[in-house]
Amino acid sequence: MARLYASKRGRSGSTRPVSKKPPIWCKYKPEEIEALVVKLAREGNPPDMIGVVLRDRYGIALVKPIVGKTITQILQSSGVELKMPEDLELLLRKADKLRKHLEKNRVDYSSKRALALVESKIHRLVKYYRGLRVISPDWKYKPLAASVA
């Protein structure tokens, strides 16, 4: 959602591999990768951190071409439940940080605008995840109680 309220192109990051085929040099089998993903998730790592660890430590560029499933699909099939979708949780943390900043700096109007934009993204994602039944239908975003540790 980088371009939703701005004409910028989002954050730059590492370049994804060109080919969607599994690389020749990857020596891991799909079962080993699934076991690694589950082990890293049980250690408390979120899916995006699992992907970074697999890329940096084990040399696995992308999980999906090798295994045929994404990291979150592997976690769901193995029974490791995520409390909340990761993108929603990150937006809640961002809103909490902005709210704490605004408590100290009440005249920071650009941060007030940023908080409004983040909260609108949160409301949009909640509506989407309710439709998918990923979160419960009665879940509501409460700004003061939304502080996620």
CA neighbor of 36 nearest in space, from 25, 47, 21: 47
Does 99 score more than 90 pLDDT? yes
Q: What is the pLDDT of residue 149?
A: 40
> Which span out of 3-7, 103-107, 141-145 was modeled with the highest average pLDDT?
103-107
- Is residue 92 within 8 A of residue 140, CB to CB? The reply is no
Does 1 score more than 60 pLDDT? no
pTM above 0.85, yes or no: no
Percent of the chain's residues with pLDDT above 70: 89
Mean pLDDT in residue range 44-63: 92
